[in-house]
């Protein structure tokens, strides 16, 4: 049977084989979001499934897309209205010329996406770099956030600053390095406790957005902007109930920041996920979904 996908996705999407990947890809939508970042609306890709309850909004990690939530989103949407969005400069969202793709720009675009399509307080869930984006958004738009969930989150420790000093041809080579299939496979293997999850389908999910125009330019711009800084000094300003979910075997960020987040955010709870690496939403999606839904009702 010939599968149908929206034409804003690269044709390689037809090579997906796993049911969760295919189902999510077929449900990716695109809408035009007006922002102060450009005169032209930004064609923004997202997924929205489920109904009822406080909306749950999922933010993916670095150099990723909404496909990162192919296992978690259906589990949440079975009981609750759930959204996922491709952040500015990432995923399948349009990369317009003239936008710096900094953390501040990502936050502005996210706010206008939220304002346009959701426009009510959400449970904001951020994974890895998406956790830093979620913290940044919560600090600036606290009225938009009912609860915060951090999945093996960046944002406590200062990120690498070398990107600010990259210049051609080093910037080009650095980004091209991330395109290499073996590099992406090794990153994926490090992200999982159980490396059997690193299938051909999983690797395709991590690489589909590389086929879109201006992937190079946006990733270089974000990296050279410095990315996300440490929010260590501001975490005490977060008043929303915060759930911290962390894989016990995280080899990407380690495990030390989990307790640091717990200590810094007053109204927070930390849950460790056994037999899990950096991506609990992919490796232990049912358990992760249960913890999020339980916290929704907490």
Which CATH number is 13-296 given? 3.40.50.1820
Mean pLDDT of 164-170: 43
Catalytic residue flag (residue 64)? no
Catalytic residue flag (residue 128)? yes
**Which pLDDT does position 172 carry in this prediction?**
54
pTM score of the predicted model = 0.95
Catalytic residue among 109, 112, 209, 278: 278
Catalytic residue among 21, 64, 128, 268: 128
Q: What residue ranges do the domains of the chain occupy?
A: 13-296
Residue 124's pLDDT band, with cuts at 50, 70 and 90, is very high
**Which pLDDT does position 162 carry in this prediction?**
41
If one compares 175 and 10, the residue with the highest pLDDT of the two is: 10
Q: Bin 168: left if φ > 0, else alpha if -120 < ψ < 50, else beta.
A: beta
Catalytic residue flag (residue 250)? yes
- Asked if pLDDT for residue 123 goes beyond 80, the answer is yes
CA-closest candidate to residue 138, choices 211, 236, 64, 69? 236
Q: Classify 99 as helix, strand or coil.
A: coil
Catalytic residue among 250, 257, 268, 281: 250
* pLDDT tens digits, 212-262: 989 989 998 998 888 899 999 999 999 999 999 999 999 999 999 999 999
Residue 43's pLDDT band, with cuts at 50, 70 and 90, is very high
Mean pLDDT of 37-54: 97
């Amino acid at each position: 049977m010939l599968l149908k996908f929206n034409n804003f996705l690269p044709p390689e999407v037809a090579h997906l084989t796993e049911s969760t990947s295919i189902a999510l890809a077929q449900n990716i939508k695109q809408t035009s979001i007006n922002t102060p970042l450009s005169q032209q609306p930004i064609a923004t890709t997202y997924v929205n499934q489920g109904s009822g309850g406080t909306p749950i909004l999922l933010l993916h990690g670095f150099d990723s897309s909404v496909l990162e939530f192919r296992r978690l989103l259906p589990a949440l949407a079975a009981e609750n209205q759930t959204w996922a969005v491709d952040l500015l400069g990432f995923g399948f969202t349009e990369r317009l010329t003239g936008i710096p793709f900094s953390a501040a720009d990502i936050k502005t675009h996210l706010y206008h996406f939220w304002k346009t399509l959701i426009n009510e307080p959400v449970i904001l869930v951020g994974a890895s770099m998406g956790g830093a984006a979620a913290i940044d958004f919560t600090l600036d738009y606290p009225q938009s956030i009912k609860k915060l969930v951090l999945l093996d989150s960046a944002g406590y420790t200062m990120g690498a600053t070398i990107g600010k000093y990259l210049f051609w041809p080093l910037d080009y080579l650095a980004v091209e390095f991330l395109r290499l299939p073996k590099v992406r496979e090794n990153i994926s293997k490090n992200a999982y406790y159980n490396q059997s999850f690193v299938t051909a389908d999983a690797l395709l999910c991590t690489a589909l957005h590389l086929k879109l125009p201006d992937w190079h330019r946006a990733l270089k711009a974000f990296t050279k902007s410095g990315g996300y800084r440490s929010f260590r000094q501001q975490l005490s300003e977060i008043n929303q109930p915060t759930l911290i979910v962390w894989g016990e075997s995280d080899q990407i960020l380690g495990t030390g920041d989990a307790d640091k987040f717990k200590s810094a955010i007053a109204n927070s709870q930390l849950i460790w996920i056994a037999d899990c690496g950096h991506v609990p939403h992919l490796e232990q999606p049912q358990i992760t979904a249960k913890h999020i839904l339980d916290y929704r009702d907490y």
